[in-house]
Amino acid sequence: MAQTASADSSPAPYRQALDRVIYLLDRDLAPVQKVRAFLRGRTILDGLDPGDVERLALAGRLSSLDGIGPSIDAVVRGAYGAGPTAYLDGLEASTEVPLGPGAELRARLQGDCHSHSTWSDGGAELRAMAEAAMALGHEYLVATDHSARLTVAKGLSPERLADQLVEIEALNEELAPFRILTGMEVDILADGTLDLPDELLARLDVVVASVHYKIHQPEREMTRRLVTAVANPHVDILGHCTNRKVLNKPRKPSTFDADYVFAACARFDTAVEINCRPERQDPPDELLALACEWDCRISIDSDAHAPGQLEWVNYGCDRAAELGIEPERIINTRTADDLLALCNR
Ligand SMILES: [Zn+2]
Ligand SMILES: [Zn+2]
C-alpha cells in the first residue's frame, strides 16, 4: 500500500505539545517530579494509537487514563484544538530565559562545550540534545558525560565511552553540517589525577575536568589538586571550579589559592568555565575577573542535563558582558575547527 511518508514523519500533536512542555519545564529548572509526571504521561500516550489519543482528547476523556492528570489533559486537548492552550502559552512566557547585555556575545557563540545525555545522568538522548542545540543556532555541541567514578550519575566506563563514540559518529553523518564533538566531564580525583587513562582522554575532542567529591579539602590540597588537573595536557576546560551552589540547597565554595590555579590554567592553556546552571553560577564574579587578569581563556557552558537547559548560555553571556570579558577570550565563540585546533594543540 502506498504511504504518505512525509505526513507520517512529524510527531503527533499530543507528542509535540508534551515535548514542548517538558522542554520549557527543564529550562525553568522545574522540580524533577513535575517533569517526570509529564514524561510518564507522554509514555502512556505513546503506548496508545495516536487516533485513540485524539478521540479521547476530543471527548474530554483523557483523564480517565491512569497517570494522566488535569495539566496533561489540558495540554493535549489544547494540542487538538479541543480546549485552550493557556497552560503551554503561560509556560512559554514564564520560563523564558532572559538575555540582556550579553546579546551580542550570545550571537557570537558557535557551540556549547559541556552537556550531558542519557549516557550518564542527563534526561534526554544525545540526539535530542543535538537537535535542541541546532535549534538554538549552534554549530556544535560537545558531549561531556560523566566518567565512571560518578556511579550515581551512571558515569561512562571506557567500554561505554567507546559505544558512545560509535553513536556520535552515526549521528554526525545524519545531522551534518552540525557536529557533536566527543568529550567527557572527567572527574578530578582527590590527588589531582583524572578518572580516565591519558590514552583515552587523548582520543576525545574536548575534555572538561571537574571536582565532584571532597569539595571541601583543605586549601593547600585543593590548590595542588586543581593545578595538577589543569596541567594535564588533555584537559581543555576546568569545570565549575568552586562547586558552590547558590540555589536549592546552597553550598559553600571550595577554597583554593586562585592565583596559583588560574596561573596554571593560563600556562597550560586550560580554559576556565563559566558554568551557567542557575544553581551554580560558578565561578563567582571576583574569581572570574581574576581568571581574566591571569589571561585565562573562558568557556561559557550550559552544563545542560536536558534540551531546554541548553538555553542557559544566555546567563553566562550576560555575566561575561557585565564583566567586560572580550569575545576573543571565550573559546566557544570559535568555530568547531578552530576549537579543535586549540584543544588538540
Ligand atoms: Zn560537574
Ligand atoms: Zn556537567
pLDDT per residue as tens digits for the range 117-130: 999 999 999 999 99
Quick one: 86 and 146 in the same domain? no
CA dihedral 155, 158, 161, 162 (to 10 degrees): -160
| Continuous segment of H or E residues that includes residue 72 | helix 70-79
The pLDDT of residue 1: 40
Grid cell for residue 203: 582520543
State which residues form the domain around 67.
Answer: 12-94
- Residue 117 within a domain: yes
Q: Tell how far the Cα of 240 is from the centroid of ligand 1, in angstroms.
A: 7
Q: Tell how far the Cα of 185 is from the centroid of ligand 1, in angstroms.
A: 7
Q: Tell how far the Cα of 307 is from the centroid of ligand 2, in angstroms.
A: 14
Residue type (1 letter), 72: I
- Residue 4 within a domain: no
- Residue 110 within a domain: yes
Quick one: 269 and 339 in the same domain? yes
The pLDDT of residue 2: 41
Q: Tell how far the Cα of 16 is from the centroid of ligand 1, in angstroms.
A: 30
Q: Tell how far the Cα of 114 is from the centroid of ligand 1, in angstroms.
A: 9
- Residue 215 within a domain: yes
Q: Is 305 a residue whose pLDDT tops 50?
A: yes
Q: Tell how far the Cα of 26 is from the centroid of ligand 2, in angstroms.
A: 15
pLDDT tens column, 68-115: 999 999 999 999 999 999 999 999 999 999 999 999 999 999 999 999
Q: Which of the four pLDDT bands, split at 50, 70 and 90, describes residue 3?
A: very low
Quick one: 70 and 19 in the same domain? yes
Quick one: 84 and 124 in the same domain? no
Q: Which of the four pLDDT bands, split at 50, 70 and 90, describes residue 14?
A: very high
Q: Tell how far the Cα of 53 is from the centroid of ligand 1, in angstroms.
A: 40
Q: Tell how far the Cα of 179 is from the centroid of ligand 2, in angstroms.
A: 19
Quick one: 131 and 73 in the same domain? no
Q: Tell how far the Cα of 241 is from the centroid of ligand 1, in angstroms.
A: 9
Mean pLDDT in residue range 249-261: 97
Q: Tell how far the Cα of 327 is from the centroid of ligand 2, in angstroms.
A: 23
Q: Tell how far the Cα of 333 is from the centroid of ligand 1, in angstroms.
A: 22
| Mean predicted lDDT score pLDDT of the chain | 95
Q: Which residue has the higher pLDDT, 1 or 145?
A: 145
- What is the pTM for the complete model shown? 0.94
- What distance in Å separates the CA atoms of residue 261 and residue 240, rounded to the nearest whole number? 13
Domain boundary among 70, 94, 118: 94
Contacts of 100 (CB under 8 A, 6+ apart): 318, 321
- C-alpha dist (Å) from residue 221 to 91, 183, 189, 216: 45, 27, 12, 10
- What distance in Å separates the CA atoms of residue 182 and residue 286, rounded to the nearest whole number? 32
Pair 239, 114: CB distance under 8 Å: yes
Quick one: 90 and 116 in the same domain? no
Angle between helices 70-79 and 50-58 (to 10 degrees): 100
The pLDDT of residue 151: 87
| Continuous segment of H or E residues that includes residue 238 | strand 237-238
Grid cell for residue 112: 556549547
Quick one: 46 and 129 in the same domain? no
- Residue 63 within a domain: yes
- Residue 269 within a domain: yes
Quick one: 165 and 56 in the same domain? no
Domain boundary among 66, 94, 122: 94
Residue 63 CB-density burial (10 A; 0-12 exposed, 13-18 middle, 19+ buried): middle
Q: Tell how far the Cα of 116 is from the centroid of ligand 2, in angstroms.
A: 6
Grid cell for residue 27: 529550562
Number of domains, the chain:
2
Grid cell for residue 138: 549552534
Q: Tell how far the Cα of 280 is from the centroid of ligand 1, in angstroms.
A: 10
Quick one: 107 and 87 in the same domain? no
Quick one: 85 and 124 in the same domain? no
Q: Tell how far the Cα of 90 is from the centroid of ligand 1, in angstroms.
A: 31
Residue 82: CB atoms within 10 Å: 16
| Continuous segment of H or E residues that includes residue 45 | helix 32-46
Q: Tell how far the Cα of 48 is from the centroid of ligand 2, in angstroms.
A: 35
Closest CA to 301 of 332, 328, 278, 327: 332
pLDDT tens column, 127-150: 999 999 999 999 999 999 999 998
Strands (E) located in 173-215: 179-187, 206-210
Residue 7 CB-half CA count within 13 A: 3
- Residue 5 within a domain: no
Q: Is 202 left (phi over 0), alpha (psi -120 to 50) or beta?
A: alpha
- Residue 208 within a domain: yes
The pLDDT of residue 6: 45
Q: Tell how far the Cα of 209 is from the centroid of ligand 2, in angstroms.
A: 9
Domain boundary among 94, 117, 136: 94
Q: Tell how far the Cα of 31 is from the centroid of ligand 1, in angstroms.
A: 19
- What distance in Å separates the CA atoms of residue 284 and residue 253, rounded to the nearest whole number? 9
pLDDT tens column, 180-234: 999 999 999 999 999 999 999 999 999 999 999 999 999 999 999 999 999 999 9
Quick one: 294 and 339 in the same domain? yes
CATH assignment of the domain containing 300:
3.20.20.140
Quick one: 336 and 232 in the same domain? yes
